[in-house]
Amino acid sequence: MNNYDGTYFLRLRPGRYVVQVLLHASANVDYTVPDVADDATDSDIITSTPSACGPIGRSAVIEVTDGGTVVIDIGMVSRTRS
C-alpha cells in the first residue's frame, strides 16, 4: 500500500527478503549510488539490471522479525541526457 508521500508499507511474515523495484523507462530516473551518505537518506538498492521496461533494482537480503520494522530507501536521481 502506498502512502501520500510515496512510502510503501506491507505486513510480512518474519523471514528473509530482497526488495525488488522497477523504475519504468519513461520515468527518466535512475537509482542513486548505494551507501554513500547517512543511512536515513542514501539508497539501499545495491544492484541494478537493465530490462526492456526499465532498470530493476534489488536490495541486499533483509531480515524481517515478528513485530519489527525495516526501512528500505530507494534513492532516485534524474537521468542525464547525452
pLDDT digits (tens, 9 = 90+) for 25-60: 888 888 888 877 776 667 889 999 999 999 999 999
pLDDT of amino acid 76: 84
Q: What is the pTM of this model?
A: 0.75
- Within 8 A by CB and 6+ apart from 60, the residues are 18, 44, 46
- To the nearest 10°, report the CA torsion of 21, 23, 24, 28: 180
Domain limits of the chain?
A: 15-78
Q: Which residue has the higher pLDDT, 25 or 80?
A: 25
Q: Report which secondary-structure segment, H or E, holds 61.
A: none
Write the CA distances from 76 to 6, 11, 65, integer angstroms: 12, 24, 27
pLDDT of amino acid 69: 83
